[in-house]
Amino acid sequence: QSVLTQPPSASGTPGQRVTISCSGSSSNIGGNTVNWYRQLPGTAPQLLIYSTIRRPSGVPDRFSGSKSGTSASLAISGLQSEDEADYYCAAWDDRLNGHHYVFGTGTKVTVL
Amino acid sequence: QVQLQESGPGLVKPSGTLSLTCAVSGGSISSNNWWSWARQPPGKGLQWIGEIYHSGSTDYNPSLKSRVTISVDKSKNQFSLKLTSVTAADTAVYYCARVGYCSSTSCSGDGFDIWGQGTMVTVSS
């Protein structure tokens, strides 16, 4: 049961900018950094954004992350066909019942 | 370059125990990282199962806590997952992952930067 809510789908034409939202609460996004993952069919997830805004080495600067309050966003500019994948936000959640990691519901990006 | 490899039975009987191991190569499990397990049922999203530090400290997903045990074997440079009383709902691809993004000089953040390829576990009689 995901506690981070994402739109199930997003789409755009090559070259367009696509934004994916991720809605959480004060115990996760509101109080911790956000990570984003891209998952191609049949493969393991790949870390795309960490610490809300940072890109691992090798991730193009077309990908950018941001956060405001209890919501976060991933923007993909200059959309390319290889960006067609599932995208997940995630964050650590600190509640009375402990410290645990929560993933978003996932967004399937389609390049039209 | 650190690599992770999951191993274990691909088929487990209902009410049985699922046991998987994640072998760490190219680096030490005693590094300053936590190590996690996650899973993904067919056609569905990701679910975090739990994590362990080389000291043996653990955190678990509250929804699975009563059935999960994660342990570490520093001598073999690996960590393991046990999930008891499994049902068909536990059928999924199981992944192990390293917590933290590490460059050549340091680690930072709390995302999962390295993942195993995943192993499919089916619960069926």
Mean residue pLDDT of chain A comes to: 95
Q: Which of B59, B103, B116 sits opposite A100 (nearest CB)?
A: B59
Distance, in angstroms, between A45 CA and closest chain B CA? 7
What is the residue type of B79? F
| Predicted confidence (pLDDT) per residue in A6-15, tens digit | 999 999 999 9
pLDDT band at B104 (very low <50, low <70, confident <90, very high): confident
Judge whether A20 and A107 are in contact, CB under 8 Å: yes
Any residues with CB less than 8 A from the CB of B23 and at least 6 apart, and which?
A: B4, B5, B7, B76, B77, B78
| Bigger pLDDT: B103 vs B3 | B3
Instruction: Please give the angle made by the CA atoms of B53, B90 and B38, to the nearest 5 degrees.
Output: 30
Distances, alpha carbon A80 to alpha carbons A35, A77, A109, B121, in Å = 21, 9, 11, 34
Distance, in angstroms, between A15 CA and closest chain B CA? 28
Q: Could you tell me which chain B residue has the CA closest to the CA of A1?
A: B47
| Predicted confidence (pLDDT) per residue in B4-51, tens digit | 999 999 999 999 999 999 999 999 999 999 999 999 999 999 999 999
On whether any CB of chain A is under 8 Å from the CB of B117, the answer is yes
| Predicted confidence (pLDDT) per residue in A38-65, tens digit | 999 999 999 999 999 999 999 999 999 9
Q: Which of A44, A46, A100 sits opposite B116 (nearest CB)?
A: A44
Tell me what pLDDT residue A1 has: 60
Average pLDDT over residues A88-102: 90
Tell me the residues of A at the B interface, defined by beta carbons under 8 Å apart: 1-2, 32-33, 35, 37, 43-47, 49-51, 54, 56-57, 88, 90, 92, 97-106
On whether any CB of chain A is under 8 Å from the CB of B53, the answer is no
How far apart CA A12 and CA A58 sit, in angstroms, is 23
Distance, in angstroms, between B69 CA and closest chain A CA? 15
Judge whether A68 and A19 are in contact, CB under 8 Å: no
What is the residue type of B91? T
Tokens of B45: 């999203």
Residue given tokens 């917590």 in the structure block: B99
With CB atoms and an 8 Å threshold, state whether A103 touches B60: no
Is it the case that residue A96 has pLDDT exceeding 80?
Answer: no
| SS (HEC) of B53-90 | CCCCCEEECCCCCCCEEEEEECCCCEEEEEECCCCHHH
